[in-house]
Amino acid sequence: MPMNESPQQTSPEWEQALQTLAAQRARIILLGARDTGKTTFSALLANRQLSHGIRVAVVDADVGQSEIGPPTTIGMGMLEVPVPTLHAVVPRAIYFVGSVTPRGRMLETVNGVRAMVSKAEEAGAESVIIDTTGFVTGAAARRLKCAKVEAVRPQFVVAIQRKDELEHMLRSIERRSCTVMRLPVPDAVVLKSPQMRQQRRMIRFFRYFQDSRQHIFELAQVGCEGTWFNTGTPLEWKEVHFLREALRSQVFWAERTSEHLFVITDKVVDERSLEVVAKTFRVAHVTPAGVHRFVKLLLGLLDADGDCLAIGILERIDFANRTITVRTPLKDASRVAILRFGGLKVRPDGKELGMVNPGEI
């Protein structure tokens, strides 16, 4: 075993794969169910390639058990020195997916992987190792992994499986011009319970927000993504008054686009009154959202090129003054052009407070 390599036990199959890949300047994607050793293999391989003098980058596409960058993001980093684990790789770029699972955020996940691979290569990476989530069963997982392979066009696919759980996707992947390497799961693998996974995320979020501050953004100065909020024309006060009566709720905010009305309320409103409102305003859809849905929501802070500068926690919306307060470790927020709304609510101490699904806000 080369010097400086982490003290993992590698099986003869892993050792052979590492030797084959050590000198390859290529895009290499890891596939495998949960707790199969994907992240461990990625770190071992990155170290081997570095020791062969290859400029190697790692794209960490696992948004739940993130090692490079905070959870909810796809992170990319370049190896400068051998690393004991992937967590030691310093992030060079992150892409905000907005959730700790790719479910419901498949477009962002695929776009993110593609963007991070491009960034790695633009930064001079000769080899890119892509670590992924353990989401491999079912139709959605299959579509996601095939889309990632299509987006990345890897020369090598390292498939780590207990039995034959990846075969349903490998059969077609291996018809592409890439080499599929099937590896067994090492006996030494330690399983992580859902509680352990959440605990790990909590620590990562806590550390990320440890040295954070609040920035106030004017709604007129930023674009919002992943939400209806701040994307239409605010209603006149008379119309807001009508909405209050019709919905029998406090209305903090209301805005419309050609086909759609978006209302922020303080309580759940019934379907019947929504129909009345849709008819009155002549829109196809009305989306009501309780104001609590926004509090502590994670946001991606993007610049005008769409690059994610940092992530933040939505602390407060001041509806009267049309500002939004965000807690983030980003020091200089002057380049922030877009706030991308995520689906996870998190306190700065790392505690997760629940999810908001795409389309609900």
Ligand X SMILES: Nc1ncnc2c1ncn2[C@@H]1O[C@H](COP(=O)(O)OP(=O)(O)OP(=O)(O)O)[C@@H](O)[C@H]1O
Residues that bind ligand X (CB under 6 A): 8-10, 32, 34-40, 62, 65, 134, 186, 188-190, 192
CB of 103 to ligand X, least distance (A): 15
Nearer to Mg ion, 38 or 114 (CB): 38
Residue 9 interaction partner, one of Mg ion, ligand X, none, beta carbon < 5-8 Å per kind: ligand X
Closer to ligand X by Cβ: residue 10 or 230 = 10
Dist CA 21 CA 81 (whole Å): 19
Contact partners, residue 269, CB within 8 Å, separation at least 6: 247, 248, 249, 263, 288
Residue 161 interacts with, from Mg ion, ligand X, none (CB under 5-8 Å by kind): none
Which of 33, 361 has the CB closer to Mg ion? Answer: 33
Give the residue at shortest CB distance from Mg ion. 39
Q: What is the CA radius of gyration of the chain?
A: 23
Least Å distance, CB 133 to ligand X, is 6
Minimum distance from residue 157 beta carbon to ligand X (Å): 15
For the bound state, the minimum distance from the C-beta of residue 195 to Mg ion, rounded and expressed in Å, comes to 17
Query: Rounded to the nearest whole angstrom, what is the least distance from the CB of residue 189 to Mg ion in the complex?
Result: 11
- Residues 151 and 59: their CA atoms lie apart, in Å, by 14
- To ligand X, the closest distance from the beta carbon of 131 in angstroms equals 7
Quick one: DSSP state of residue 340?
E
Minimum distance from CB of 84 to ligand X (Å)?
Answer: 11
Q: Which one of ligand X, Mg ion, none interacts with residue 34, CB within 5 to 8 A by kind?
A: ligand X
Task: Give the nearer residue to Mg ion in terms of CB position, either 71 or 226.
Answer: 71
Beta strands 260-265 and 285-290, pairing class: parallel
Measured CA to CA in angstroms, residue 100 lies from 156, 171, 199, 229, 352 at distances of: 26, 28, 13, 22, 11
| Binder of residue 357, out of ligand X, Mg ion, none (CB less than 5 to 8 A by kind) | none
**If DSSP codes are grouped into helix, strand and coil, which group holds residue 198?**
helix
- Considering beta carbons, is residue 38 or 256 the nearer one to ligand X? 38
Smallest separation (angstroms) from Mg ion to the CB of 324: 34
* Residue number, 75 or 226, with CB nearest to ligand X: 75
User: Which entry of Mg ion, ligand X, none binds 81, CB below 5 to 8 A by partner kind?
Assistant: none
Picked from ligand X, Mg ion, none, the partner binding residue 109 (CB below 5 to 8 A depending on kind) is none
Nearer to ligand X, 45 or 326 (CB): 45
- Token pair, residue 110, equals 């695929």
| φ/ψ bin of 42: left (φ > 0), alpha (ψ from -120 to 50), beta (otherwise) | alpha
Burial class (CB in 10 A: 0-12, 13-18, 19+), 253: buried
Contact (Cβ atoms closer than 8 angstroms) between residue 350 and residue 206: yes
> Which is nearer to ligand X, 5 or 239 (by Cβ)?
5
Picked from Mg ion, ligand X, none, the partner binding residue 36 (CB below 5 to 8 A depending on kind) is ligand X
DSSP assignment of 83-146 equals -SSGGGSPEEEEEE--SSSSTT-HHHHHHHHHHHHHHHHHTT-SEEEEE--S--SSHHHHHHHH
Residue 343 binds: one of ligand X, Mg ion, none (C-beta under 5 to 8 A by kind): none
Complete DSSP assignment for 122-138: HTT-SEEEEE--S--SS
